[in-house]
Amino acid sequence: ADSREEGVNLVYYAKTGSIIERGGEKVLMMNDGVIHRKTLTGDLSVIRFTSYAFDMSAFMSAANQVTLLPKDQTTQYLLNPSPNDKNYQQSPQEYRAEVDQRFSEWTYSMVFALIALAVAGDARSHREARVNPLITA
């Protein structure tokens, strides 16, 4: 999304893209996509393109250094972060929280599936059910 221009919000979608260097500047080359241009009044324009070049110099820092947040890091890096990482030095708790989230988030679907199986697997007629099935689950 690009909201640098006041009152206009641009969203770029492309099937493929690559960053290339042209004349010392980095350019994002997008292929086979669309641009959604939305104004404050709610008007929406859709522009289809086969090839589109987007100048990335406005988004690059002076040092050309990319700062990766904990959510962008690999799990291996989160388990053993570099002590020289400035972001890690400022907030090491965010790295630990991200590790905890990655290792626990997938278990939610498993727990709910097991609960559903326990309830569905204990199906009985009203005459057979002497104990509430929710208690046995």
Q: What are the phi and psi torsion angles at 43 (to 5°)?
A: -65, 135
With 60 as the cut, is the pLDDT of residue 23 above it?
A: yes
The model's pTM is 0.45
The chain-wide mean pLDDT, for the chain, equals 83
Contact between residue 106 and residue 113 where contact means Cβ atoms under 8 Å apart: no
- DSSP letter at 5 equals S
Angstrom CA distances, 102 to 77, 98, 122, stand at 13, 6, 32
Tokens found for residue 10? 């641009």
Reported as a single tens digit per residue, the pLDDT across 56-109 is: 776 665 555 667 889 889 999 999 999 998 889 999 999 999 999 999 999 999
* pLDDT greater at residue 62 or residue 3: 3
Mean pLDDT (whole number) for 111-136: 71
